[in-house]
Structure 1
């Protein structure tokens, strides 16, 4: 019989598979979501019935063996949400997050660009969902994210061009760690500007690490590195839960480009 783990505190994510889900379960409530992020785990809801069925077919044996846990009590459809904690973990150390030289050079001339924090959270989330396949940002997940934003746990950075939203990033904060869920752009480089702005604001609030969740050339170009999952979880566990707020002022984006000739 498959045993269910009632809460994230009872799950040792370090024992989970390094390159697959560490758990399944359908609890996407705000409280459940926040607890998962504090444990170093993030969700990937199934976008349709086919994906949900595929989860069961591919991973049922590992669930039966106990290598992948089922979370919560009495979930009618546990395979509807998979939970991930990859090893190694792609992260961006806040002091090392930077724009490429070519993007910094272009940004110096974009005086019409500005950035803000938490000005359009839900709009940023929905822009991140638009046109994405698979559609992992479900309505249920968005509703919980918006509630966590209202409670001060989730945040967004917006990039503006003459008053138009052209890029952004959003995610959840756990003390000195910020886990980035997704980003979007309508102008080349706008999502990278959003991440760099997030790092700058987070640094002023005592932030140390941006969690990228999934590795990509985009993340590496911003200064991303891979760290062992154990190191990431250890950092997360010692991250203070009570921290300074990030500055919310709308600021010129070109401030993020270092002066010509300065080291990156």
Structure 2
């Protein structure tokens, strides 16, 4: 049993939170994975002011029953659950590098890539300096636990021994939901997405979920998918096997692109 058992995501708003609350004794890895399995992802409030803002903006919709209020033992407006409709998705082998970046990778680029080699570092880099600060300590702890369980993955881009870009997300069956990315060199985050997508596809994955639509994810190759179809993909059976995390030259992605 989870706090999401009575929630029908299909009936929730496509352009706002589907639900608030649900943290029973703190956000756990099990609760987080149950949410992703239902097509939800979390957006915790950074502080009490952000929580108060959520209540001010969405409180009437909660009172009207348009947005669900999940059982919990904390301030419900401190934790929002989203399931956008439509959902931006990318085929694992469909991440666009662009001709300029592909050419640069081919021409003696020293960058190399890996997967699940530095999950904690990628998570910390994605959390650092972001406003709003949605990757809270509680959420980070749950994500680290999911990584230990093999459900959360990271893709890393290196220049020598320096981590210059990365992405992380949660895998559910054939879908990898990408939560956040970062870069310390131009285009390193794009390379991280392309590399992790290639590894996920090679392991049997079928879909990358970019979560939030916008010009940047569209430039990566994302296309809108109706939430009903996305939920069907999640529950369609099958899934990815173990990702190959071995170090590989980033130049290979330029040749593929």
- TM-score, with structure 1 as normaliser: 0.92
Moved more, 78-87 or 218-227: 218-227
Q: Which residue of 1 aligns with 2:183?
A: 185
Aligned counterparts, 1:192-207, within 5 A = 192-207=190-205
- Work out the CA distance in 2 between the residues paired with 1:69 and 1:7: 11
- Work out the CA distance in 2 between the residues paired with 1:166 and 1:134: 22
Deviation at 1:58, TM superposition (A): 1.2
Unaligned runs of 5+ in 1: none
Partner of 2:201, secondary structure, is: helix
Q: Which residue of 1 aligns with 2:44?
A: 45
CA contact (8 A) 1:174 1:240 kept: no
CA contact (8 A) 2:21 2:74 kept: no
Partner of 2:158, secondary structure, is: strand
Deviation at 1:238, TM superposition (A): 1.1
Unaligned runs of 5+ in 2: none
- Work out the CA distance in 2 between the residues paired with 1:82 and 1:110: 45
Q: Which residue of 2 aligns with 1:245?
A: 242
Deviation at 1:106, TM superposition (A): 1.3
Q: Which residue of 1 aligns with 2:110?
A: 112
Aligned counterparts, 1:12-91, within 5 A = 12-27=8-23, 28-73=27-72, 75-91=73-89
Q: Which residue of 1 aligns with 2:119?
A: 121
Match of 1:136 among 127, 134, 137: 134
Deviation at 1:258, TM superposition (A): 2.5
Aligned counterparts, 1:140-155, within 5 A = 140-155=138-153
Deviation at 1:68, TM superposition (A): 0.7
1:92-150 CA distances to partner (integer Å, 9 max, x unpaired)? 11232231111111111253100001111011001001111000000000000001101
CA contact (8 A) 2:91 2:207 kept: yes
Moved more, 8-17 or 41-50: 8-17
Match of 1:7 among 3, 7, 12: 3
Deviation at 1:215, TM superposition (A): 1.4
**Total equivalences in the alignment:** 254
Runs of 4+ in 1 over 3 A off after TM superposition: none
- Work out the CA distance in 1 between the residues paired with 2:48 and 2:106: 47
- Work out the CA distance in 2 between the residues paired with 1:26 and 1:14: 18
